[in-house]
């Protein structure tokens, strides 16, 4: 099954990012395809390059970069990114900034779309 994912909450304050990541891992382990992950609203900060969590905490931005390196398309909403001062050079590798058209494409090509956060 092709699955699209949208995340709307930022890292560390909410469980949306963690839950989405674990969901994607489980879906891929079962053989499903992740059509794309769209980071919207505060979720754009999940891929902030300057993130430096304590050593004993999970590194959320690194998780998304590693998932992107596995071929999952991680898309950061350009409008939400601009509102939060997130420029292309400030996001981790294997992610990209694009518009709502990408969300529309993910939704059109996916058989199911799952949203995490508000």
Alpha-carbon distance 56 to 45, whole Å?
A: 20
57 contact partners, CB below 8 Å, separation of at least 6: none
Are the C-beta atoms of 107 and 88 separated by less than 8 Å?
no
Domain containing residue 39: CATH number: 3.40.1260.10
What's the domain range around 81? 2-116
Per-residue confidence in pLDDT tens, the chain, 118 aa: 999 999 999 998 889 999 999 999 999 999 999 999 999 999 999 999 999 999 889 999 999 999 999 999 999 999 999 999 999 999 999 999 999 999 999 999 999 999 999 8
Number of domains in the chain: 1
Residue 85, Ramachandran bin (φ over 0: left; ψ between -120 and 50: alpha; else beta): left
Annotated active-site positions, please? 77
């Amino acid at each position: 099954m092709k699955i699209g994912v949208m995340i709307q909450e930022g890292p560390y304050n909410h469980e949306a990012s963690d839950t989405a990541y674990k969901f994607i891992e489980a879906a891929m382990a079962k053989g499903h395809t992740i059509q794309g992950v769209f980071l919207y609203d505060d979720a754009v900060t999940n891929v902030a390059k300057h993130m430096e969590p304590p050593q004993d905490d999970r590194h959320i931005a690194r998780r998304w970069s590693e998932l992107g390196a596995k071929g999952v398309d991680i898309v950061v909403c350009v409008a939400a990114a601009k509102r939060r001062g997130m420029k292309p050079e400030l996001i981790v590798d294997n992610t990209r900034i694009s518009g709502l058209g990408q969300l529309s494409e993910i939704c059109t090509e996916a058989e199911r779309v799952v949203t995490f956060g508000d």
